[in-house]
């Protein structure tokens, strides 16, 4: 296992929710990363952000790790959930709420409902 793969696995082992993204949750550096971080931030989810722009080995490593070609990538309890489009669809359908409930992840249900209302 490469050093990048070890770093990725360690982040997943140590955090219930991890977002591999371009930039940080406070300062996303691409629109797709911004959208997913915005959803998680608005819903009050505690998560670890990993800035793939800070380390090229991690940037490529996460793509190999998940066999998914794009960033951002959301993981919940070590399980790869998806990228921006999938997280957006899951948020709007309520599936993300169900996933957080099943995995015992704290989030603000009212905020999740507001996102859906604003996009109805």
Residue 120, domain member (yes or no):
no
Question: Is 84 annotated to bind ligand?
Answer: no
Residue 103, domain member (yes or no):
yes
List of residues 6+ apart from 119 with CB closer than 8 A:
92
Q: What is the CATH number of the domain that holds 35?
A: 3.40.30.10
Give the chain's domain count: 1
Containing structural domain, residue 95: 3-115
Q: Residue 97 is encoded by which pair of tokens?
A: 């709420």
Residue 106, domain member (yes or no):
yes
- The CA-CA-CA angle for residues 114, 116, 119, to 5°, reads 110
- Note the pLDDT of residue 1: 72
Residues lower than pLDDT 50 in the chain:
none
- Note the pLDDT of residue 2: 87
């Amino acid at each position: 296992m490469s050093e990048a793969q070890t770093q990725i696995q360690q982040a997943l082992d140590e955090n219930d929710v991890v977002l591999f993204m371009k930039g940080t949750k406070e300062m996303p550096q691409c629109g797709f990363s911004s959208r997913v971080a915005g959803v998680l931030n608005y819903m009050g989810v505690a998560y670890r952000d990993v800035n793939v722009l800070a380390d090229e080995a991690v940037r490529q490593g996460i793509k190999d790790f998940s066999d998914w070609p794009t960033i951002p990538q959301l993981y919940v309890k070590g399980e790869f959930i998806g990228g921006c489009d999938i997280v957006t669809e899951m948020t709007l359908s309520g599936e993300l709420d169900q996933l957080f409930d099943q995995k015992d992840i704290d989030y603000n249900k009212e905020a999740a409902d507001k996102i859906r209302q604003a996009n109805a």
